[in-house]
Structure 1
């Protein structure tokens, strides 16, 4: 049963669009009205509101065709219900953690520092490998944990020993580590998807105001993706707890390790 919504300023525009068979009359105002109605019933963020407007615009032709099956007395109820369904489908599976601290990317690649590299790539081509091997093992381990670097055997053995020494369950630790990597990949995929979406909309529209709005939103999502790349994989506190050392000691190891890498003149580190 659709809710009956009559007393709305948008209704005359819908009626005019129907009479003239020109949905473009209402294409700008209707998605915004739908999201405003959605926001009255759901606690949605400004980012989600922007995403929903774009989502509705993408399916507008299909939605408009379906709406023609409803009388004007019910059509606003249809649009509200449609917005709720789109919101549920868009966000019900999106539970992404965005916690963490800023981190330094340890190589000048497009791929984030916590991406998984094949072992042979790490062995043969990664410039960080040779420099890490020159560092004290504990310093290399701290760097590897904060930036999620692939670990050589001696570093991995030290990690296992430290986990047992601090009474951590090794199996649980590595399972949680993989879950953290998975959430990070989800986050990056979502952010990249939003950038692609706004890029596509820029190609599709000709209206200057809408193009400026899409361009502004694209820049916002690019900035968010950059910030996601620039977060520590494990924080200083987490590393200190895992290794049974103080946060000051963690900072000292990070400072020493990054200093040695910079001194090598490889330009391995760059700040976000």
Structure 2
């Protein structure tokens, strides 16, 4: 049987490991704590507990790197859910809680650390790039700017030419672009943190009214995050100013580009 480690003991170790940039400080205690939390919600054997400790140790470095995206107030919830995801993938069991709710993965990482990226996701991402290349160059550039899509050399060259033509400072543009991406990541990180918080509270709560309130709050934060993701990276006005074209022309290019992508059979922008 694994030893018991309390929350109030593990959190200072996490803070110390972060401040010293040394995850080895808690490499012995953290997997045990995670499996103990897992065992409180899942009927697992002692053998399974030991296997889970080994599994977590195998992916410890990647897990630790992912955890740095979370504020210290949310990071325990991250580790708890990470343990559940690893358990699910290790033993391939789909379990439903007594309330009948499936426990959902709602974190910034999209896949378990010990699994390869499904080939269909790679194929859809590649298909998006292939379809983007079929579009008229300016249409492709407008789409790339609105959805912050990866640009190939022809789009990058057109963008540079347009920026020079409209009198924009190239260095300032790319610096502001990096800052814009950083702010977007911060916003999504904060929203994901709130989803994490209420996911954890919902899972741990037992009183029906409290669970109902936590579920409502979680849905609100999921909606806010969805809206943030769906919001244009560059607005129509910004794109028009960057490229020296009218907003009507921008809308026409967006309409044409989205129509062509939909003809490919799926909403490929979902994979951007």
Structure 1: gaps of 5 or more residues: 1-88, 91-108, 112-120
Q: Is the 8 A contact 1:188 1:225 kept in 2?
A: yes
Q: 1:122 to 1:182 in 2, by over 3 A?
A: farther
In structure 1, the partner of 2:194 is 194
State the distance in 1 between where 2:230 and 2:239 align: 17
Q: 1:190 to 1:167 in 2, by over 3 A?
A: same
Q: CA deviation at 1:212?
A: 1.4
> In the alignment, does 2:147 pair up with 1:127?
no
State the distance in 2 between where 1:180 and 1:147 align: 13
What do residues 158-215 of structure 1 show as CA deviations (whole Å, max 9, x unaligned)? 0000000000011111111111111111111111111111111122222222111111
TM-score normalised according to structure 1 size = 0.53
What do residues 63-104 of structure 1 show as CA deviations (whole Å, max 9, x unaligned)? xxxxxxxxxxxxxxxxxxxxxxxxxx99xxxxxxxxxxxxxx
Which has the higher Rg, Structure 1 or Structure 2?
1
State the distance in 2 between where 1:239 and 1:168 align: 12
Q: Is the 8 A contact 1:123 1:129 kept in 2?
A: no
In structure 1, the partner of 2:155 is 155
In structure 2, the partner of 1:236 is 236
Q: Which structure 2 residues correspond to residues 14-163 of structure 1 after superposition, within 5 A?
A: 125-163=125-163
What do residues 29-87 of structure 1 show as CA deviations (whole Å, max 9, x unaligned)? xxxxxxxxxxxxxxxxxxxxxxxxxxxxxxxxxxxxxxxxxxxxxxxxxxxxxxxxxxx
Coordinate RMSD, CA, aligned = 2.6
Runs of 4+ in 1 over 6 A off after TM superposition: 121-124
Q: 1:219 to 1:123 in 2, by over 3 A?
A: closer
In structure 1, the partner of 2:169 is 169
Q: 1:142 to 1:176 in 2, by over 3 A?
A: same
Q: 1:263 to 1:225 in 2, by over 3 A?
A: same
Equivalences, count: 155
State the distance in 2 between where 1:124 and 1:260 align: 15
Q: CA deviation at 1:140?
A: 0.6
Structure 2: gaps of 5 or more residues: 1-71, 74-108, 112-120
TM-score normalised according to structure 2 size = 0.53
Q: Is the 8 A contact 1:122 1:150 kept in 2?
A: no
State the distance in 2 between where 1:243 and 1:229 align: 24
In structure 2, the partner of 1:258 is 258
State the distance in 2 between where 1:123 and 1:218 align: 32
